[in-house]
Amino acid sequence: MNTMILSVPSHICGLIFDCDGTLADTMPLHWESWHEEFSLHGLTCPQEFLDTHKGAYVAEIVREYNRVFDTELDSDQFAFNKEKRSLEKLRTVKPIQPVVDIVHQYQGILPMAVVSGGNRTNVMLTIDVIGLKDAFEIVLTADDGYPSKPAPDMFLEAARLIGVSPESCQVYEDGDLGLKAAKNAGMSAVDVRPLFEETINLQYSK
C-alpha cells in the first residue's frame, strides 16, 4: 500500500474529503443506478462519459448527456429517480479503509469536512453506514446550492466553515473534476485512485 499519498504534511490544518469513491466504495452502486435509469428510457450511456463527469451534480451530467447525445431527458426528474435508486443500494456499501483510517487518525485533532456532488440524503446515509456519522464538522452536498465541481466554491466554503485557510487544507478525491476544484481553491489535492483497486480487492476477497 502506498502510504505516501495519504500522509498529512505538518502545515495542513484541515482535511476535506469527497464521499463517493473516496470514503466509500459507492461508485459501482451509482453506476448501476445510472445504467438502470438510462435503460428505462430506452437509452444507453458510455461508461467513459460517466467517468469523465464523476463529481458533478447528477442533473448537470444529464444536461450534458442531452447536449452530447441529442436527447431531451428531464434532468431534474432523472436525477431524482437515479438518486432514489442509489439510496436503496447504499445500505450495503463498504468503506475505502485507507482513507477512512485517515479520518479516524485525525478525528478530534484536525477539523474535517465532506464536499460531495451527491444529494444530502445519500451522502449522510453513506457516512453513517461506514461508521463516520460524527466525524465531520461540515458536510456540503449538491443540495446546498453551490456551483458544481470543478468550481472551487464548495471547497472554499468548507474551508471557511471549518475555520482553515484554503492553502492549509488537504483534499482527498477520486475524480478529475474534484481534484481540479481543489486546486482551483488553492488547496493541496490527493488523488486516492492509486489505492482504490488494491483496497477494494483486499476487502472483497475476505
Cα–Cα distance measured from residue 160 to residue 60, given in angstroms and rounded to the nearest whole number: 25
Q: State residue 72's pLDDT score.
A: 96
Q: Which of residues 40, 68, 91 is at a domain's end?
A: 91
Do 111 and 199 share a structural domain? yes
CATH of the domain at 141: 3.40.50.1000
Q: Which of residues 73, 91, 109 is at a domain's end?
A: 91
Give the chain's domain count.
Answer: 2
Do 199 and 124 share a structural domain? yes
Residues labelled catalytic: 18
pTM over 0.85: no
Q: Which of 187, 185, 181 lies closest to 169 in space, CA to CA? A: 187
Q: State residue 109's pLDDT score.
A: 96
For residue 101, give its domain range.
3-26+93-204
Instruction: Give the pLDDT confidence of 31-57 residue by residue, as tens digits.
Output: 999 999 999 999 999 999 998 998 888
Phi-psi group of 137: left, alpha or beta (phi > 0 → left; psi -120 to 50 → alpha; rest → beta)? alpha
